[in-house]
Structure 1
Amino acid sequence: MTMTIGSTPAPNANVLTDKPSKTQVDYQSFLRLLVAEMKNQDPTNPMDSTQYVAQLASFSQVEQSVQINTKLDQLLQASSLSQAGALIGRTVASADGTLSGKVAEVRIMSDGIVAVLDNGESVVMGPGVVIKPGEA
């Protein structure tokens, strides 16, 4: 019994890599922007310290939101893997009733979880699919 993950990520999935996203701003980028802003400000009208604090607080909130979203994505991925693993050995029947069999392996693809039956057929897990305990 094997469980494989398909190579095609979900359309909305965030792929975790070491390379930062072009739209994601990190602390270093923020500090460079802040220093550039301070260098280029009008000396007769310097930046108000309350504006600086407000910008820093806003950036902190955005950074926390990004971290929370990353953790939620990881949690959802772990949940999907757990659900997929629980299908192995069970008997499934397709929504239209044309395919039925014992699940030999599971694949996680962009369109959802795909159960590969012991006869080689594939069933996309979705509404209407019947899952029964495996036969002893």
Structure 2
Amino acid sequence: MAKIDPSLYLNNQATRTPSPDLGKDEFLKILMTQLQNQDPTNPMDDREFISQMAQFSSLEQMMNMTNSIDTLVQSQLVSPVIKYSHMIGKQISYQAYDEETGEKLDIETGKVVAVSQQDGWAILELDNGEKIYADAALEVRDPTDSESNNNQGDEANE
């Protein structure tokens, strides 16, 4: 009796996992196969072919634009200047230190006038001439909110 070779069993065959993505190369392969196997007595309509090519071109442009936007967003998320730029014009409080002794001084306030970067860290430049690391800010306020609160307090005292 003939023996069956176990290497021919289906469960011993290498499996291929299909990709859900259809790229340019796959589209062109399908198109070429379609052209090669079309009925010579009833060829593909020119308008249908042009329409498919236009759709493919549009799809490719949208995919390229999506990749460009993703790259732009990722580069902006990494930059500390972009990350902290919303703080320009805000009033911040921070712990002041004596530069010579390193001793803690009073908590000071200042208005952020610029944001810069040094060694990958965001530096807040204040209207009083100080430069502090962004993570050293203890409190952030909108100066217009504190002015309106002060005016309301003045009106209540009158």
User: Normalized against structure 2, the TM-score is what?
Assistant: 0.41
**Higher helix fraction: Structure 1 or Structure 2?**
2
Larger Rg: 2
The one of the two structures with greater contact order (alpha-carbon pairs below 8 A, sep at least 6) is 1
User: Normalized against structure 1, the TM-score is what?
Assistant: 0.47
